[in-house]
Amino acid sequence: MPTATQNPTRTQTKMSTSNLPIEPVRIGLVSVSDRASSGVYEDKGIPALQAWLGRALLNPITWVTRLIPDEQAGISAALRDLVDAEQCDLVLTTGGTGPALRDVTPEATLAVADKEMPGFGEQMRAISLKFVPTAILSRQVAVIRGKALIINLPGQPKSIAETLEGLPQANPPAPGIFAAVPYCLDLLGGPYLETDTSVCAAFRPKSAQRPARS
């Protein structure tokens, strides 16, 4: 069932030292799973995405969620709806990126793309190899549609934090992909994403940084 909900932990408008309010963000979440969508097992994809993003982001978040089967036309339709009608700034999918016959999330994502962003898939596979040797089986992609960034993540619920957060404390550090998402949204004219640096330090060039909050 389509749903749009507010992040209960970050609803009030906060002010920065520079007096700019923290901007709200609309995030679409799509869990692609034949078994979770038909009730064979409970969906853990959307809760895992909300848990990580709710920890990482200071912005008030409106979630728009979809739990759907591995059907290419349905996945593309959900992505178009989340970007074009629901006006999501960022859309994350989980599941359906592997080599199995029914894994078609990358094809469905590329079908709605204005531009491809290959760096995200490259970095996710590089990070994931530090967790599992089967990381190379994920064909995950990221694309721009309109002013929104759409990113595929693997279906295994633990892979969500692994790929978004990476291993920033490792030597050498392995940055997760989310560090690059705030500046990507800046370049698309989206909301200014602010992160809890203990979870994920957003990287922006100095010229794009706003004063830090106290």
Ligand X SMILES: Nc1nc2c(c(=O)[nH]1)N[C@H]1C(S)=C(S)[C@@H](COP(=O)(O)O)O[C@H]1N2
**Which stretches of the chain bind ligand ATP, using CB under 6 A?**
31, 33-36, 41, 43-45, 70, 95, 98, 100, 155-157
Nearest to 96 by CA among 77, 136, 68, 64: 68
| Residue 199 binds which entry of ligand X, ligand ATP, none, CB below 5-8 Å type-dependent | none
Which residues make up the interface to ligand X (CB under 6 A)?
Answer: 95-98, 103, 128, 131-132, 134-135, 137-138, 154-156, 158-159, 162-163
Q: How far is CA 150 from the centre of its chain?
A: 7
Report in angstroms how near the CB of residue 194 gets to ligand X at its nearest. 25
DSSP code for 209: P
| Residue 81 binds which entry of ligand ATP, ligand X, none, CB below 5-8 Å type-dependent | none
Task: Please identify, using beta-carbon distances, which residue of 59 and 128 lies nearer to ligand X.
Answer: 128
Task: Please identify, using beta-carbon distances, which residue of 121 and 157 lies nearer to ligand ATP.
Answer: 157
What is the DSSP pairing of strand 166-167 with strand 148-153? unpaired
Distance (Å, whole) CA 151 – CA 142:
4
| Residue 163 binds which entry of ligand X, ligand ATP, none, CB below 5-8 Å type-dependent | ligand X
Report in angstroms how near the CB of residue 112 gets to ligand ATP at its nearest. 20
Report in angstroms how near the CB of residue 155 gets to ligand X at its nearest. 3
Q: Are 41 and 104 in contact (CB under 8 A)?
A: no
Distance (Å, whole) CA 39 – CA 14:
39
DSSP code for 19: S
Query: Both tokens of residue 105?
Result: 């999330």
| Residue 45 binds which entry of ligand ATP, ligand X, none, CB below 5-8 Å type-dependent | ligand ATP
* DSSP 3-state of 149: strand
Report in angstroms how near the CB of residue 86 gets to ligand ATP at its nearest. 20
